[in-house]
Amino acid sequence: MKNDIGYQILEPESLDKLFGGIIRVEFKILLLNGILSIIRETEIIRKYNIIALDVIMVNYISKYPAIGVRYSNNENDYGDEIEEYINEIIKSSYIFNLINYIVDNNSLIEEDISKLTKQ
């Protein structure tokens, strides 16, 4: 896991919701790597002259995983565009829709699990 030094930190809004109900940092890292694998299959790397796109550990108030990006020209800043693309990935991907459903309906799911396991 890389630290956040030298990276632009990307924290799309959709990740806040997605991570809201997830406690385990390992699962967050897994999801972020999944998102990066999707991005790496697109033209975004070349389009924005990205030289590094990694899951990094940010150390600000607390430690947490995030997506870090480095560009070939340090003056570039395409964070908003990349974050919007990540938001689209999360909206359109079945697995992320499933995770969002679980996060949104956590209490109902826990009730069902409790009822079903007591039978």
Beta strands in the chain (DSSP E): 2-3, 8-10, 50-60, 62-71
Supply the pTM of this predicted model.
0.76
- Separation of alpha carbons 28 and 109, rounded Å: 20
Domain boundaries, the chain: 2-118
Tell me the pLDDT tens digit for each residue of 9-38. 998 988 887 787 667 888 889 889 999 999
Tell me the pLDDT tens digit for each residue of 58-106. 988 888 899 999 988 777 789 999 999 999 988 888 887 787 787 777 7
Neighbours of 20 (CB within 10 A): 11
What three-state secondary structure class fits 56?
Answer: strand
